[in-house]
Structure 1
Amino acid sequence: MIARISGTLINKQPAQVVVDVQGVAYEIEISFNSYCQLPEEGQVAILHTHFVVREDAQLLFGFCGLEERSLFRVLIKVNGVGPKLALAILSGMDAHSFCDCVNRQDSATLVKIPGVGKKTAERLVLELGDKLSSFQTSDNIAGQVDAVKPTLFAVSAQSEAESALLSLGYKPMQATKAVSAAFKSAPNGSCQDLIRLSLKGMI
């Protein structure tokens, strides 16, 4: 079991990063919440990991916080929810909002996350209803993101934000509409700011 990775951040994207550990580069799948907490490329990154071995692949999932990894491990125990979908859920909303939806039995909001259908949303609410008490008073993961400098090129930030949403599973029309709305409320926002506002607006 690989429990933690610490090394130089070579490349980072909203859904995946590459970390160099003494000459060995690891591709690690991440959630958008963790992406927002990463340092700049070239700096040291520390990720708590969950290693998945399948017949056709070996996958490494990384999280900036132990709490998010714990919730990930709870999610993949739900019938029909694999690692990829669990990561999509954690990218679509932060831990606090997800737990709130489950506690309120709000499957309608969960359905708005790419990849989560009606049956899956109902199953999440049913199976996790009494298993998330340890997360109820936890801090909002997305709220712990360090402030980033405003971009000098708003058009570039919008384009990057749209690409990020597409990589998270949203449709082109959804991404464009959400980012445009986010840009109106934060015209000087960075790519990360626009993505956060876009996700918030779609949930």
Structure 2
Amino acid sequence: MIAYLSGTARSAAADSVIIVSGGVGRLVTVTPAHAARLRDGMEVDLHTELVVREDSLTLYGFEAADERSVFRVLLTVSGVGPKLAMAVLAVLGADGLRSAVASEDQAALTTVPGIGKKGAARMLLELTGKLPAGGIGLPGTAAAPAVAPGDQVVDALVGLGWKQTQAEEAVSQAREATPDAAVPALLRDALRTLGGRL
């Protein structure tokens, strides 16, 4: 089990990055917003989860142990696999998911691509009382992003399956409505504009 990885970022893509440590490069799947903040040569510390399938081994990376804990709980929900669990974290974040579950907010859950009303209802039922309390991120991974918030959100939306032009238009509309919005709020507004449809 690879539970923690510290090394140098290389070749960040829409939703993955190669972390080089000890001369070995490991491909790690991360959320699109996280990937957008990574630059070649950046030192990175990740909490990780290795998901073993019959035909694959996939390493998922998280900035905080709390995110990994929430990811693990999401995998216990019927019909939720690693990709959908990462989409939940990309759109809502760990705290946003807690808030949605605590307030039984199905609408918030349906903003995640791949989750409809029935899936949201099932998630609320199965997650109630199971999510861990909030955690603290790793020092050293919260450096100021080198990418503008709008660009981060566009990258995140493209990573979630929308076309570049759709993502740019949605972000533009969201920024007009709330010019000073931070990345999470901008992402939520852009998703509302897109209507949760791929």
Match of residue 160, structure 2, among 162, 165, 168: 168
Partner-residue secondary structure (3-state), 1:175: helix
Equivalent AA in structure 2 for residue 6 of structure 1: S
Partner of 2:196: none
Q: Which structure 2 segments of 5+ residues have no match?
A: 193-198
Map 1:60-75; keep pairs closer than 5 Å. 60-75=59-74
Any conservation in 2 of the 1:9–1:41 contact (CA below 8 Å)? yes
Map 1:104-123; keep pairs closer than 5 Å. 104-123=103-122
Partner-residue secondary structure (3-state), 2:11: strand
Structure 2 distance, partners of 1:110, 1:117, is 8
User: Mean Cα displacement is larger for which, 114-123 or 176-185?
Assistant: 176-185
Partner of 1:147: 144
Equivalent AA in structure 1 for residue 127 of structure 2: L
Partner of 1:55: 54
Once the two structures are superposed, residues 41-92 of structure 1 have per-residue CA deviations (whole angstroms, 9 ceiling, x without a partner) of 2022111110011122110000010000000000001111111110010001
Map 1:75-114; keep pairs closer than 5 Å. 75-114=74-113
Partner of 1:4: 4
Partner-residue secondary structure (3-state), 1:12: coil
Any conservation in 2 of the 1:181–1:198 contact (CA below 8 Å)? no
Task: Report deviation, 1:24.
Answer: 1.5
The alpha-carbon distance between structure 1 residues 181 and 145, as it changes in their structure 2 partners (threshold 3 A), is: farther
Structure 1 distance, partners of 2:142, 2:33, is 8
Partner of 1:178: 170
Aligned length: 188
The alpha-carbon distance between structure 1 residues 67 and 91, as it changes in their structure 2 partners (threshold 3 A), is: same
Partner-residue secondary structure (3-state), 1:113: coil
Partner-residue secondary structure (3-state), 1:46: strand
Task: Report deviation, 1:103.
Answer: 1.1
Task: Report deviation, 1:186.
Answer: 4.0
Partner of 1:198: 186
Structure 1 distance, partners of 2:51, 2:137, is 26
Any conservation in 2 of the 1:18–1:26 contact (CA below 8 Å)? yes
The alpha-carbon distance between structure 1 residues 49 and 179, as it changes in their structure 2 partners (threshold 3 A), is: same
Percent identity between the two aligned chains = 36
Any conservation in 1 of the 2:15–2:159 contact (CA below 8 Å)? yes
Task: Report deviation, 1:139.
Answer: 6.5
Partner of 1:23: 23
| TM-score (normalised: structure 2) | 0.80
| TM-score (normalised: structure 1) | 0.78
Structure 2 distance, partners of 1:83, 1:89, is 10
Equivalent AA in structure 2 for residue 109 of structure 1: A
